[in-house]
Amino acid sequence: MAKSEPLSISAEYHRAGRRGILQQRIANASVGLALVLGSILFMLPLYVMVAMSLKSKEEIALTSPWSWPITLTFENYRLLFIDRNFAFWLKFFNTLVLSVIPTLGVTLTAAMVAYPFARLNFRGRDRLFVILLSTMMLPGVVTMIPGYVLMAKLHWIDTFLPFIVPAFFGGGAFNIFLLRQFLKGIPREMDEAAKLDGASHARIFWQMLIPNSGPALATIAVFTFIGSFRDFMGPLMMLNDPNKQTLEVALRSLQNARGTEWHLLMAGSVLVMIPMVIIFLACQRYFVRGITLTGGK
């Protein structure tokens, strides 16, 4: 039997035999066209960003933002790398620490908290779940100062702890909710069997469910990494020492009362984006590893 591709138009027509060759080509071409046109549309704002980052300050002032630089220059990037206050590498390192550790914490503990919500029966589960969701519903503006005071009472201001410790406490409602939805979608047969064999809930969680939630875990890992990497308000409030600051905050200092340094801001934005794109590409492998539990592969 032909290997089934989930909802692949091309594979569909492939099976339809010779008659379908033309249709298959048309289907392939239209998918390709949609992908190419769509990505051009989506990349337009980024094209402007990259183009401006490669223009000199004078050229930005004189030319349309949509034009490709007349004289390509990497001067803006060079200026950022040597700027003592921008301190790219130091801030890159800080940002990396502040992204990697929370990502580990969130991925680990969010799955742990999501598991009982998804698959166990316990007193008050549905009402606790409402409480979980309700923590997303109050605008952060009004909890910011009480939260700040709490961090100060713990002597965590100007340290990385406000970003690291909470990540190990379940990692937030968004991630728990996402994982709960995925865990609820995994068929029961295998863990019911394991339960009959006397396996503990911890073992079922670790040996049956975790290995089968690759795509969901990869998703929350990528989201957490990117969210932390781009966080602005958090580091701005919690950190005082410029040597502990992150890239996103350093980027903002390129905008000031004397006007926006467009050329530097755009170059900086491109620099900040590169690590996130790399992480995303690296994690893709895990997005496409589906359920192996009951699959027919």
Span 172-191, contacts to other proteins by CB under 8 A: 174, 176-178, 181-188
CA–CA gap between residue 146 and residue 150 (Å, rounded): 6
Residues 10, 199, 228, 263: which binds other proteins (CB under 8 A)?
Answer: 10
Angle of CA points 108, 110, 114, to nearest 5°: 125
CA–CA gap between residue 239 and residue 258 (Å, rounded): 25
Which residue is it, tokens 């046109």?
A: 37
Min dist CB 74 to other proteins, Å, is 18
Which tokens in the block code for residue 106? Answer: 């969130």
How many chain residues touch other proteins (CB under 8 A)?
144
Residue 72 or residue 128: which is nearer to other proteins going by CB?
A: 128
Residues 25-44 that bind other proteins (CB under 8 A): 28, 31-32, 34-35, 38-39, 42-44
Residues 184-243 that bind other proteins (CB under 8 A): 184-188, 200-202, 205, 214-216, 218-219, 222-223, 226, 230, 232-233, 236-237, 240-242
Distant-in-sequence, close-in-space partners of 260: CB < 8 Å, separation ≥ 6: 254
| Side chain identity, residue 76 | N
CA–CA gap between residue 179 and residue 114 (Å, rounded): 6
- x/- string (CB under 8 A) for other proteins, residues 132-171? xxxxxxxx-xxxxxxxxxxxxx---x--------x-xxx-
Residues 116-135 that bind other proteins (CB under 8 A): 116, 118-125, 127-128, 130-135
Min dist CB 245 to other proteins, Å, is 9
Min dist CB 92 to other proteins, Å, is 14
Residue 72 or residue 242: which is nearer to other proteins going by CB?
A: 242
CA–CA gap between residue 15 and residue 253 (Å, rounded): 58
Residue 54 or residue 226: which is nearer to other proteins going by CB?
A: 226
260 contacts other proteins (rule: CB under 8 A): yes
> What is the maximum alpha-carbon separation in the chain?
74
Residues 81, 88, 92, 280: which binds other proteins (CB under 8 A)?
Answer: 280
Residues 87, 103, 228, 268: which binds other proteins (CB under 8 A)?
Answer: 268
19 contacts other proteins (rule: CB under 8 A): no
Choices 69-77, 87-95, 96-104, 253-261; region in contact with other proteins by CB under 8 A:
253-261
Residue 74 or residue 290: which is nearer to other proteins going by CB?
A: 290
Residues 56-75 that bind other proteins (CB under 8 A): 61, 64-66
Residue 48 or residue 90: which is nearer to other proteins going by CB?
A: 48
Min dist CB 251 to other proteins, Å, is 6
Which tokens in the block code for residue 34? Answer: 């949609």
Residues paired with residue 260 on neighbouring β-strands, in sequence order: 255
3-state secondary structure of 77: helix
Residues 89-108 that bind other proteins (CB under 8 A): none
Min dist CB 32 to other proteins, Å, is 6
CA–CA gap between residue 268 and residue 60 (Å, rounded): 15
Alpha helices, DSSP H, located in the chain: 9-15, 21-53, 57-62, 75-82, 88-119, 125-134, 140-153, 161-164, 173-184, 189-196, 201-203, 210-212, 214-230, 233-238, 247-252, 262-287
Cα-atom radius of gyration of the chain, to the nearest Å? 24
